Amino acid sequence: MTTRSRDNTRTPRVFPDFVTFHASTPPTTEPRTYTQAQKYTEWCNAMQTEIDALHSAQTWVLVPPPSTTNVVGCKWVFRIKRHADGSVSRYKARLVAKGYHQTEGIDYTDTFSPVVKPTTIRLVLSLAFSLGWGIRQVDVNNAFLHGDLSETVYMAQPPGFIDPTYPHHVCLLKKAIYGLKQAPRAWFSKLSNTLLEFGFTQCVSDTSLFIYCHQSVTCYMLVYVDDVIITGNSPEFVSEVVSRLHSRFALKDLGIISNFLGIEATTHNNVLHLSQQRYLLELLQRTGLSQCKPLSTPVSSGQQLSKHTGVLLPDPSEYRSTVGALQYLVLTRPEIAYAVNKASQFLQNPTDRHWIAVKRILRYLKGTITHGLCIRRSRNLTLHAYADADWAGCPDDRRSTTGYCVFLGPNLISWSSKKQHTVARSSTESEYRALAHTAAELRWIMSLLSELRVSLSFPPTLWCDNIGATYLAANPILHQRTKHLEIDLHFIRDMVLSRTLTVKYVSTNSQFADVLTKGLMADRFNDLRIKLSVLPAASLEGAC
């Protein structure tokens, strides 16, 4: 307790020995406030490093507070950065503006900023790994501070670092500090303009992919905010690009890709293994299921969840955050896409039955922690896909679920499990809508490959296990039973007639997308999981 002496001066706080000892040990958790962080030397040093970087970048100047203009608040955000093995790499403190204090039209205008699509990442990694290119990763330090701020924005001084000479002044921002609504856009604009100066072109199909293709040199660059992947057929040119970027921005060269966006990448001979093992372990710990009994499948065969079953959860926040974490895990675990999609349909009013279904997914993941997506080195660049749908599978609105998976050679690069927007009146209709959705994805991937200067020897093949749907794709028949499908019919038929797509029948037993539309028995599920190239890392030792 802080007391005052008779002359009204504050008496310093006296901490007990156990508090002093606790503060002298390295922190293992991330503080939520400045008050919690200031007790630890590591966090104090991290905050000082951030302040030094902000001053070096001339992020603001102190001015008297404006009488009428809005002043944005700020706070500290703390993160423990870790190595791939989970050990502490460094303690990171970041000063973040409270963007929710900003007023649209005054403090900011445009805010949209793209990030690279997951399919683009997997496609480029598949190409680079198959071609034997080195895949390099760099991280831009304080990336948003490089973005130029065009609006006039005032911000409060940082907690713990208020200038004693001007304690009542505010910061007139010169740079787009983290937390501002326009900060991502300002940074991306700065980086893209720099890459255009270097001779790169911005991909139309995915504007966060930059391509350099001159004479015999080819280089691809993937941008996700401040994380960048660079690969190309010339290691010398890649090194030159990294050096030129370093001359413009402060960055860390992380070398060969090992951990990108929380995805661990490990190489086993001719296989690149992508997993999220550490993220999954943290999720199991957070939900209290780190010691749970594993299950063989993420969803039981024949399970039908309804919004009317069960008792509403008193606090849905844990359900929502857990489902959000599972959605992130789908980046490398396509076999849980259907189960996660079903759980995502009850975010508004989840019940105890829905929570049991979510815990089942976690129990399945507990038994497959080391599993991940495999990318194999292969010269096979044929594009093929599987499309499937259940029929009227949702008991609440009788809408069907579309599932598809797209392969480039042996490598899975795109997948989806999603409820259709309209009610299908027949199984053929639901399957055909799945075909149309997959065909649109294939058309986009073909456009992306074209911009990457990759030519396909044959048009992609789209496999479907519904004979009626495959017949509609190839035959110009239009009558009352298919009139409402006219747009989808013409879309696919145009691709078939122009020989940019081939639609073929496949038996249900060979339908890879079956795992994306329904719950399956364990044997069938495990077989399809292998076909989707989801394997444990240990099984790849000695792979060729």
Claim to verify: residue 383 and residue 361 sit in the same structural domain? no
As a whole number, mean pLDDT of residues 514-530 equals 96
Environment class of 427 (CB within 10 Å of its CB; exposed 0-12, middle 13-18, buried 19+): middle
pLDDT band at residue 150 using 50, 70 and 90 as cut-offs? confident
The mean of the pLDDT values for the chain is: 89
Residue with the larger pLDDT of the pair 21 and 437: 437
Residue 267 lies in a domain: no
Lowest mean pLDDT among 100-104, 165-169, 502-506: 100-104
- Do the Cβ atoms of 256 and 321 come closer than 8 Å? no
As a whole number, mean pLDDT of residues 501-518 equals 95
> Can you give the pLDDT at residue 544?
44
State whether the Cα torsion 217-218-222-227 is positive or negative.
Answer: negative
Lowest mean pLDDT among 8-17, 63-72, 253-262, 294-303: 8-17
- Which one of 229, 259, 289 terminates a domain? 259
pLDDT at 16 over 50: no
Claim to verify: residue 406 and residue 439 sit in the same structural domain? yes
pTM: 0.86
Claim to verify: residue 197 and residue 232 sit in the same structural domain? yes
154, 159, 163, 169: CA torsion to nearest 10:
30
Output the DSSP codes for 139-178: EETTGGGGSBP-S--EEPPPTT---SSSTT-EEEESB--T
pLDDT at 139 over 90: yes
pLDDT at 513 over 80: yes
Output the DSSP codes for 18-62: HHHHHHHSPP-S--SSHHHHTT-HHHHHHHHHHHHHHHHTT-EEE
Claim to verify: residue 180 and residue 225 sit in the same structural domain? yes
- Do the Cβ atoms of 60 and 174 come closer than 8 Å? yes
> Can you give the pLDDT at residue 360?
98
> Can you give the pLDDT at residue 245?
95
Instruction: List pLDDT tens digits, range 318-361.
Output: 999 999 999 999 999 999 999 999 999 999 999 999 999 999 99
| Phi, psi torsion values for 401, nearest 5 degrees | -110, 130
pLDDT at 214 over 70: yes
Residue 266 lies in a domain: no
Claim to verify: residue 207 and residue 285 sit in the same structural domain? no
> Can you give the pLDDT at residue 19?
38
Residue 91 lies in a domain: yes
Instruction: List pLDDT tens digits, range 356-382.
Output: 999 999 999 999 999 999 999 998 999
Residue 322 lies in a domain: yes
> Can you give the pLDDT at residue 481?
54
Residue with the two structure tokens 């603001």: 60
Claim to verify: residue 279 and residue 360 sit in the same structural domain? yes
Q: With CA atoms as reference, report the closest residue to 270 among 373, 372, 374, 370.
A: 374
Residue 265 lies in a domain: no
Residue 252 lies in a domain: yes
- Which one of 343, 370, 397 terminates a domain? 370
Claim to verify: residue 508 and residue 526 sit in the same structural domain? yes
pLDDT at 2 over 90: no
Claim to verify: residue 348 and residue 435 sit in the same structural domain? no
pLDDT band at residue 27 using 50, 70 and 90 as cut-offs? confident
Claim to verify: residue 280 and residue 411 sit in the same structural domain? no
List, edge to edge, every strand of the sheet that includes 60-63: 60-63, 170-173, 154-155, 71-72
Environment class of 120 (CB within 10 Å of its CB; exposed 0-12, middle 13-18, buried 19+): buried
Show Cβ contacts of residue 324 under 8 Å, excluding neighbours closer than 6 positions. none
Classify 341 as helix, strand or coil. Answer: helix
Q: Where are the alpha helices (DSSP H) in 337-377?
A: 337-344, 352-366
Claim to verify: residue 92 and residue 232 sit in the same structural domain? yes
Claim to verify: residue 129 and residue 237 sit in the same structural domain? yes
Residue 57 lies in a domain: yes
Domain that holds residue 516: 378-531
CATH number of the structural domain spanning residue 399: 3.30.420.10
> Can you give the pLDDT at residue 368?
97
pLDDT at 132 over 50: yes
- Do the Cβ atoms of 178 and 186 come closer than 8 Å? no
pLDDT at 233 over 90: yes
Residue 542 lies in a domain: no
Classify 326 as helix, strand or coil. Answer: helix
Number of separate domains in the chain: 3
- Which one of 370, 393, 411 terminates a domain? 370
pLDDT at 473 over 90: no
Claim to verify: residue 169 and residue 242 sit in the same structural domain? yes
| Number of neighbouring beta carbons within 10 Å of residue 28 | 7
- Do the Cβ atoms of 400 and 390 come closer than 8 Å? yes
- Residues above pLDDT 90, as percent of the chain: 67
